Structure 1
Amino acid sequence: MSPTQHLVLDPSTSLPPTRDHSDAAIPPSLPDAKEVKVHPTISGSENASLYFVGTATTILEWAGVRLMTDPNFLHAGDHVHLGPGVTSTRVTNPALDLHDLPHIDVVLLSHYHEDHFDKKVEESLRRDLPIITTPHAKSHLTSKAGENEAFTSVYELDTFTSMVVTVKPAAEEPTHATRRVKALKVTAMPGKHVPPGILGTLNDMIGAIPPTNGWVLELGSCVEGSDESFQCGYRIYISGDTLMVDELKEIPQRYAGQTIDLMLVHLGGTTIPSQHTPLLMVTMDGRQGLELVRLIRPDVTIPIHFDDYDIMLSPLDDFKKAMTEAGLDKKVVYLDRGDNYKFSVKEM
């Protein structure tokens, strides 16, 4: 990774998310939410939102910026290839279609897997759309064969490395040497899609299942041109496709004394090679999800990635039951596809 990576987002530039959009066809906003939800015990002054599309695809809106995670817009009946001998069928529909997206400023991609970055998305996305991802995913996205096929604005982050993404101020805002601008700080977190041991070592050798990142996404501000001045007003941990492994224990150590305001946990108990031959679980089930809640201790948890594909064998009810039995019902918000969670980012 380059020691300094700089990305400036300009919300006033409303480019289409896909390269086959016409300007006239770009919707100005996301569709109205089926249901709007807020913090279970505290509400008021919400200035940001998270729209759940389906699978691990969410769209965060704040300070005029739209950030999309793990874009997957396949429909029920569509198939994905997830490794040698592993395919899966989608059993749900996304809350909106890929070509119904409004302007997207940046994509946060946890790993290069078709249920997180499907073939239609890969073919359709605008080539200069900024993508923050793993070194493995970057190597694929930037080396695509064919004229104008490679993605040109891809940023890689290794575990526990960060980059600050600034938001270009409106033209009428005064300029001075210490002007603070809205900013997002993205830090790669550890994740293991394959359990440690012989299977993990073997997978590292043959690369059957790609490496994955979790993320800490912080919303705040910094002095323009000074990443070191970043101050956080809201902190989100996104687990990515991981199991409950020892490496995750470093996350609360690194953020000791700092609040994790929101956790998006990838669940589903995804088990390969198929629902009929469930030999290896590669994402958290309900029990492991509860373990992660207890480890990270977020203020609020939202489960995602739990029932969209036929190899997800741990239904959301497993997590609901575990959270209820642990007395943590007031620490979780459940979103259906098309729901919106509104929250408040402190001014910094």
Structure 2
Amino acid sequence: MSSTPSAEPKHCITLSPSSSPPTRDGKSAPPSTLPAAKASKNHPTAPSNTTNASLFFVGTATTILEWQGIRLLTDPNFLHAGDHVHLGPGVTGTRVTNPAVDLEDLPNIDLILLSHYHADHFDAKVEASLRRDLPIVTTPHAKECLVEKKEATEQFTQVYDLDHWETSLITLPSADADKSNPMIRVTGMPGKHVPPGLLSQANDLLGAVPPTNGWMLELGASPSTGDFRSGYRIYISGDTLLIDELKEIPARYKDQKIDLMLIHLGGTTIPGPKLPLLMVTMDAEQGIGLMKLIGADVTIPIHFDDYDVFLSPLEDFKKAVERENLGEKVVYLDRGEEFKFRVK
């Protein structure tokens, strides 16, 4: 295991074992497991027979990480083909795919990681349905929307906000006082939905497109010496463009291996496919640029074809990966497939 230099955590969160469904009006006893994966994939060049963690791809930016008996859900969006989302003033998107599993059919979820408060990442049905005591790590803007701007009876009660480079340390319910305590360290990473310049300045004033985070997840433990030690590091890009601020990630994690990158692609355009004036998430070429910048051992593309505002299809990214001879660094997951890996 290895550690990275970081400031004192802003939040220390202890997860409690839960058998409750993620929804407040859900089944009294949720399923004990996720649906069987359509396919299980492993490291593209060094597969392991001793995996102890998995990432299940639901669709768009929604994934479920399972490790040490917990489930972490990212950017929950469970709308179906034909459903619409509001993405900004006068801007809507239509979903063109179905999720691999429905919200009501999820097993218990222990934590949600929400990159930003946008309807294609946290849809209205999810917002209305989730139980209010489900822990959520998210941006300061999203916390304001989920707590301060809601009626008292509708407020989420365990929302932890992180700005860029701030950290939360999460102790897992399987912690054993006589051994190293399994933990997850979550650090907010830079991200910008709107290109720098006048448009970004205008958006800061108008708030048309919400601020967004990427994340660095470090799965590891705290031994008796007390220092957190990382055994597997996952960078989630979030909805960002290839901006200069991202260069600080490899600088801060110099000589620290980034095992996996989940990269949000799609080349999302606004106001829409008929008038693609502004791109607000990475297309294939920017995705290749981020792969080279971060240097992750494995990259999994997500958020690439689920809405009609995505104009850079996965096929474009695949062609760019082959052109750059990066094929041995990428695993492609379809909705309902999983990636299995080992945390040291």
TM over 0.5: yes
Paired with 2:296 and 2:9, the residues of 1 have a C-alpha distance of 30
Return the match for 1:322 from 320, 323, 327: 320
Match of 1:158 among 163, 172, 194: 163
Question: Residue 211 of structure 1 corresponds to which residue in structure 2?
Answer: 211
TM-superposed deviation, 1:144: 4.3
Q: Distance in 2 between matches of 1:4 and 1:199?
A: 31
Asked if 2 retains the 8 angstrom alpha-carbon contact of 1:49 and 1:62, the reply is: yes
Equivalent positions of 1:282-321 (< 5 A) are: 282-321=280-319
Identity among equivalent positions (%) equals 64
Aligned partner letter, 2:142: A
Counterpart of 2:191?
191
User: Shift of the alpha carbon at 1:260?
Assistant: 0.5
**TM superposition shift of 1:264:** 0.2
| 2:144 is the counterpart of 1:146 | no
User: Stretches of 4+ moved more than 4 A in 1?
Assistant: none
| Distance of 2:169 and 2:141 partners within structure 1 | 21
RMSD between aligned alpha carbons?
1.4
Q: How far is 1:147 from its partner?
A: 4.4
Match of 2:42 in 1: 38
Give the partner amino acid of 1:338.
G
Deviation at 1:4, TM superposition (A): 3.8
Structure 1 distance, partners of 2:148, 2:262, is 30
Q: 1:168: how far off?
A: 2.4
**Aligned residues between the structures:** 336
Q: Aligned equivalents of 2:282 and 2:230: distance in 1?
A: 28
User: Residue 8 in 1 paired to residue 6 in 2?
Assistant: no
Gaps of 5+ in 2: 1-7
Q: Is the 8 A contact 1:168 1:181 kept in 2?
A: no
Write the distance in 1 (CA, Å) between the matches of 2:19 and 2:127.
20
The DSSP-based 3-state class of the residue aligned with 2:249 is helix
Deviation (angstroms), 1:146 = 3.2
Alignment of 1:29-108 (within 5 A): 29-44=33-48, 45-108=50-113
* Cα distance, 1:3 vs structure 2: 6.4
- Does residue 266 of structure 2 align to residue 268 of structure 1? yes
Equivalent position of 2:234 in the other structure: 236
Superposed CA offset, 1:32-73 (max 9, x none):
001110000112211000000000000000000100000000
* Structure 1 residue runs without a partner (length 5+): none
1:242-257, aligned counterparts within 5 Å? 242-257=240-255
What SS class does the counterpart of residue 136 from structure 1 fall into?
helix
Residues 122-137 of structure 1: matches in 2 within 5 Å?
122-137=127-142
- Contact 2:77 2:123 survives alignment (8 Å): yes
The one-letter amino acid of 1:41's match is T
- In the alignment, the residues of structure 2 paired with residue 272 and residue 231 of structure 1 have an alpha-carbon distance, to the nearest angstrom, of 42
Find the aligned partners of 1:4 and 1:302 in 2 and give their Cα distance. Answer: 29
Residue 339, structure 1, aligned to residue 344, structure 2: no
Q: Return the alpha-carbon distance in structure 1 between the equivalents of residues 166 and 149 of structure 2.
A: 26
For residues 10 and 211 of structure 2, what CA distance do their matches in structure 1 show? 23
Distance, in Å, in 1 between the alignment partners of 2:172 and 2:45 is 31
- Find the aligned partners of 2:198 and 2:316 in 1 and give their Cα distance: 28
Q: Deviation at 1:22?
A: 2.6
Match of 2:220 in 1: 220
Normalising by structure 2, we get a TM-score of 0.95
Which residue of the partner structure matches residue 276 of structure 2? 278
